[in-house]
Chain A
């Protein structure tokens, strides 16, 4: 008797300029009907590739797939969809110009007479699915205007809407906040109770322990372990994922904050008709990690963009040290030591169609030693890229491979490598560990703490509350463009408290924004 889904001996090799990249090497996975199956492994292990093969998006070189007892050939996405296999992708493939509901129903629009889309019906259907998931979304907003977290929800709705019987989630929670993750996990349990089968890819230990029944672990394209989740401890699970024990505690030494490095004074930013940032003031001091907590879309993105010079503030001032930078260009700000890891790593943080070296030098290609008198020094450029590959453990065989061919986690590492190697005084880090495996996330934490020790400052924007709790010295909570609370470590802060401020249920009076 075969399992519900069996993939055996799956191989997949990519070729880049003659270099072979073995993404999958005899990988196996067996999934039982009506279970949630975790697919784990370090960055670049081949998880996404294996699932893309199952969803008919990539072709396997060798191996067999049995689905419901029958051998199936999956040559394209519609064959997989016809069999009832649906996938939430790691990187979104939504159409920016379409609205949320149009994106959700695309391909299976409810039509009325003459194939005209029945807008009313569409709206009702989508609203129903959204409500079931507990996702709050403006269904008529254009996807291009949404934050990453909101897009992720659209992507999830898309797949739920088509109602497949086998659902694949490829890192669906990397940009969702706690409450949203909660409700997604509930939806998954609900689906499971309806007899659906779920394959769940994630690097987050708590989620895996909570939701999965069984796990399969890939390493370097091979299946290395499988087993029932209830026999596993968090430590064991991490060991399985990255092949070594990683302490989960982040050691943070107490340390006094130094002089002010960045000051924001009465910042107001408008986005279209909306006042996105409303009279925000704060300062960041040397040797601090300061977190900005807030539900996606409460103005934090606009605030960051104004600080970096990508968005013109309506009024207000920004100081770097004692120099005002309000009217400087993004490049001038970068040159002064202000660096940025953006939350949208595909559209902003990297260029998928440019190669690794070109991606790594985007902030410094014009200066020695990379350039002289207008000429690029390509050799130095590729040498630097090679150094980064080694130092930051980027899984890329060549410095001229396109960044789009890297795995999600390795794209993130490329971005981090560039920003950290610029030796920033101030790092604005948005979802910096998004998509990283436990080991590399841990490495990034160490880097951030090292920056703190070296009297630099990190402004941390993260949907991961645990990350905020273990790294931040202070937390600024932003709600509807206003800073509603300033929580310092001394008074102590709890997850629940931050949550209440974030939702706007609570608000501090007479917020004191300086640290003494």
Chain B
């Protein structure tokens, strides 16, 4: 019953997104039907577009997972973007430094470093919450904003490739470190399987591991968890660390699979991760589909902008609208309860 209801809301959200897309296009385009056609069919029209859309899905799956882990514990990690950005920088720098190593060692080390870096940033928020009762939601969000500038500074200066010129970027990492691309001419790469493996890992952790049980129970009712003897601040910190770590991995996997270097003033996967996890209701498996849907919106919009007169930014508009719809729900619950109380005494 409840499950069905959830599924229907998710379908509704997707439908809403698509309808929104059509409406926005109708408003902004002079040739709306062409635009709509490219929007919906473009991403599927060739191996190249299809592969790139799937490739774009990869980091979204991983940031979505990152969101799932912390939100399951009712820890509102809104700083996925910052954790990812910092993880990316550390991962790329590490890969760059290890240039002379064989890839079998260098790549796992770079990924591990990215995981620890992202987790480390998240741990700061967890620590502030535990020691000084600074809300994780606030501290992680503020940190994300600060990190954005710090990392860009590093990419502009100390870790800059002068050859990149105006498109500020880090030096390239060793070509042999790149994850193999297997769907030419697109840049779909092996990271897809890493992401799916992470989905399995997170799913199994949440359902079959002690920590997963602790995270779920703490998220559902912290008073009950504490009563049962669960150390809720430890669990919250663990969830936060894992979440940040996954975010850190997300960006680094993308770099190892597509660009081969880190571009400054870029990204956004972290922000999307928040919406994806919320829509997927913290379910790792649903996350895959929602991530795909987000990638489709993005790539559909890019496609439509290539072949007609609209701007790719409409993807953001639609995603923002969806986010409003979904985050409104927490508020709904409160309003519903209030409404029920009101109704009973009308």
Residues of chain A having any CB pair with chain B under 8 Å? 15-16, 55, 57, 76-78, 80-82, 86-87, 93, 95, 103, 106-108, 158-159, 161-162, 310, 329-331, 334, 340, 342, 347-354, 358, 362-363, 365-366, 371, 374-376, 378
CB-defined contacts of A57 to chain B, threshold 8 Å: 340, 344
Binds A, one of B172-180, B194-202, B212-220, B319-327: B212-220
B328 within 8 A of A: no
Contact B1 A15 (CB under 8 A): yes
Which residue of the partner chain, among A82, A93, A330, A349, contacts B224 with CB atoms under 8 Å?
A349
State how many angstroms separate the Cβ of A167 from the closest Cβ of chain B: 12
B185 within 8 A of A: no
Given contacts A108-B345, A365-B210, 4 further A-B contacts (CB under 8 A): A348-B227, A350-B224, A362-B229, A374-B211
CB-defined contacts of A107 to chain B, threshold 8 Å: 341-346
Can you sample 16 A-B contacts with CB below 8 Å? A16-B1, A76-B343, A77-B340, A80-B344, A81-B344, A93-B337, A107-B346, A108-B346, A329-B229, A330-B226, A331-B229, A354-B217, A358-B213, A363-B228, A371-B210, A378-B208
A350 to B224, alpha carbons, bound, how many Å?
6
A340 to B226, alpha carbons, bound, how many Å?
12
Known: A81-B344, A82-B346. A331 touches B231 (CB 8 A): yes
CB-defined contacts of A86 to chain B, threshold 8 Å: 344-345
Contact A106 B209 (CB under 8 A): no
B338 within 8 A of A: yes
Residue ID in chain A nearest B205 by CB atoms:
A374
State how many angstroms separate the Cβ of B135 from the closest Cβ of chain A: 16
CB-defined contacts of B230 to chain A, threshold 8 Å: 331, 362
Number of A-B contacts (CB under 8 A): 109
Contact A349 B227 (CB under 8 A): yes
State how many angstroms separate the Cβ of B43 from the closest Cβ of chain A: 37
Which residue of the partner chain, among B213, B223, B225, contacts A376 with CB atoms under 8 Å?
B213
CB-defined contacts of B227 to chain A, threshold 8 Å: 310, 330, 340, 342, 348-349, 362
Contact B346 A362 (CB under 8 A): no
State how many angstroms separate the Cβ of B298 from the closest Cβ of chain A: 34
Contact A353 B221 (CB under 8 A): yes
Contact B210 A376 (CB under 8 A): yes
For B1, B217, B229, B346, the residue with the greatest tally of chain A CB atoms inside 10 Å of its CB is B229
Residues of chain B having any CB pair with chain A under 8 Å? 1, 208-213, 216-217, 220-221, 223-231, 337-338, 340-346
Residue ID in chain A nearest B229 by CB atoms:
A331
A378 to B209, alpha carbons, bound, how many Å?
10
Contact A362 B224 (CB under 8 A): yes
State how many angstroms separate the Cβ of A29 from the closest Cβ of chain B: 20
A348 to B232, alpha carbons, bound, how many Å?
14
CB-defined contacts of B344 to chain A, threshold 8 Å: 55, 57, 77-78, 80-81, 86-87, 107, 162
A78 to B344, alpha carbons, bound, how many Å?
5
Contact A365 B213 (CB under 8 A): yes
CB-defined contacts of B228 to chain A, threshold 8 Å: 362-363
A310 to B342, alpha carbons, bound, how many Å?
35
CB-defined contacts of B337 to chain A, threshold 8 Å: 93, 95
State how many angstroms separate the Cβ of A509 from the closest Cβ of chain B: 38
CB-defined contacts of A349 to chain B, threshold 8 Å: 224, 227
Residue ID in chain A nearest B223 by CB atoms:
A348
CB-defined contacts of B345 to chain A, threshold 8 Å: 81, 86, 106-108, 158-159, 161-162
A162 to B341, alpha carbons, bound, how many Å?
11
CB-defined contacts of B340 to chain A, threshold 8 Å: 57, 77, 93
Which residue of the partner chain, among B221, B229, B343, contacts A334 with CB atoms under 8 Å?
B229
For B217, B224, B343, B344, the residue with the greatest tally of chain A CB atoms inside 10 Å of its CB is B344
State how many angstroms separate the Cβ of B336 from the closest Cβ of chain A: 11
Residue ID in chain A nearest B1 by CB atoms:
A15
CB-defined contacts of A376 to chain B, threshold 8 Å: 208-210, 212-213
Known: A82-B346, A158-B345, A374-B210. A347 touches B217 (CB 8 A): no
CB-defined contacts of A352 to chain B, threshold 8 Å: 221
A349 to B212, alpha carbons, bound, how many Å?
20
A363 to B230, alpha carbons, bound, how many Å?
8
Contact A81 B220 (CB under 8 A): no
Which residue of the partner chain, among A93, A330, A375, contacts B208 with CB atoms under 8 Å?
A375
State how many angstroms separate the Cβ of A401 from the closest Cβ of chain B: 11
Which residue of the partner chain, among B1, B224, B341, B343, contacts A351 with CB atoms under 8 Å?
B224
Residue ID in chain A nearest B345 by CB atoms:
A162
A352 to B224, alpha carbons, bound, how many Å?
10
Known: A95-B338, A107-B341. A347 touches B210 (CB 8 A): no
CB-defined contacts of B223 to chain A, threshold 8 Å: 347-348
